[in-house]
Amino acid sequence: MQNNSVSRLSTCFILLTTILSLTGCDASKEKTPTAKQGQIPEVNIVTLQPQPLTLHSQLPGRTSAYRVAEVRPQVSGIVIKRLFKEGSDVKAGQTLYQIDPASYNASLASAKATLERAKATEATARIKAERYRDLLKTKGVSQQDFDDAQALWKEAAADISSAKAAVDTAQINLAYTKVTSPISGRIGKSTITEGALVTAQQTTALTTIQQLDPLYVDVSQSSTDLLKLKQALTDGQLESAGPQEAKVKLLLDDGSYYTENGKLQFSDVTVDESTGSVTVRAIFPNHDQQLLPGMFVRAELGEATLKDALLVPQLAVSHDPRGNATVLVVNAQDQVEQKAFTTTRSVDNNWLVKDGLNAGDRIIVNGAQKVQPGMKINAKNVDPASLVTASLNTKQ
């Protein structure tokens, strides 16, 4: 009897243990989904919203002076004065150098004396010719004597013309002893000092003057892009500043914009046969002379405004093995999908969408490395402006 009781107790204990074990397994199975729900990743998204956007084209270029004049002497002599300050602004006609005028004053005086002598000779020859004309009527002189008198008179008159030309030449040469500025502008350094000997038409310039207001900006682009640019201007896609001229903004080397707008000109362009590039000129006012020749700048043209542009942050974009641009999108069921799209250009830190994405698409911008297509996620909206700040901080 005692053995049967022990056997029954053992059997009950085994049954109880089995039940508890099964119950524990069921409880474990019920807790598993809760654990998985706690592992749902959280990502940051931006929702694509259509917005007006003015597109810009940027062309690299350099500034150049509107006019450049190399000053050279027209007469020879010793420079006795330099009458300007290097780096200053000069006016057209302002005297820059004074060449010793002594010899040219003497030449002018000699030419004037020769002219007076020629006038006196002409007066005598004229009186004689007139007297012979009266005597010829009464046969007081022969025809030959009259003809000789007329010839001498005409020769004396020609001498006067020659003497006048010599006086004019002497006066011009004397005036050239004052070397003047041919244009108004900023003058550079002088290549000579007082006491230097200069010669007429020498190859070395005494100094150089550059007109800085207005100023040219020479930009380069391919001939294909130039044709597109002309077509855009014809179609009214560029902001016009006049017939066949487009308004241009200037982006300086330090990243700031120049305060004045310029005009892009398409005249007098040539194609470089070796590179296929074209140099066109934009002209800018430069009243404060903030721009100097030789500066590297970028000319920016405003194109047509898009009414419903979609911009995707660049940090959200990756590329598949074929090179197609892709993004991870959160659908209505909060699941991740991958979408491919095409773009036409970059705009600041974004890509301009051509097709493949729609307004309202929720793009994953942070946390994409934690998710895969088909996964369920928690999406949190972020301000697109904060992405620009974060991108700048990362670059720094």
pLDDT on residue 279: 82
Q: Are residues 216 and 296 in the same domain?
A: yes
| Residue 260 within a domain | yes
| Residue 20 within a domain | no
pLDDT on residue 185: 94
Q: Is 264:289 a contact under the CB 8 Å cutoff?
A: no
Question: Residue 179 belongs to what domain range?
Answer: 72-198
Q: What is the tally of structural domains in the chain?
A: 3
Longest dimension (CA), the chain: 200
pLDDT in tens, 276-325: 788 888 999 999 889 999 999 998 877 667 788 899 999 899 988 888 89
| Residue 141 within a domain | yes
| Residue 264 within a domain | yes
| Residue 126 within a domain | yes
Q: Are residues 220 and 176 in the same domain?
A: no
Kindly give the parts of the chain with pLDDT less than 50: 1-6, 9, 19-20, 22-37, 390-396
| Residue 300 within a domain | yes
Q: What are phi and psi of 221, to 5 degrees?
A: -160, 165
| Residue 40 within a domain | no
Q: Are residues 300 and 317 in the same domain?
A: no
pLDDT on residue 240: 53
End-to-end CA distance of the chain: 89
Q: Are residues 77 and 176 in the same domain?
A: yes
| Residue 212 within a domain | yes
Q: Are residues 302 and 314 in the same domain?
A: no
pLDDT on residue 364: 92
Instruction: Supply the Cα-derived Rg of the chain in whole angstroms.
Output: 46
Count CB-CB contacts under 10 A for residue 163.
Answer: 21
Last residue of a domain, one of 306, 334, 357: 306
Q: Can you give the CATH number for the domain in which 111 is found?
A: 2.40.50.100
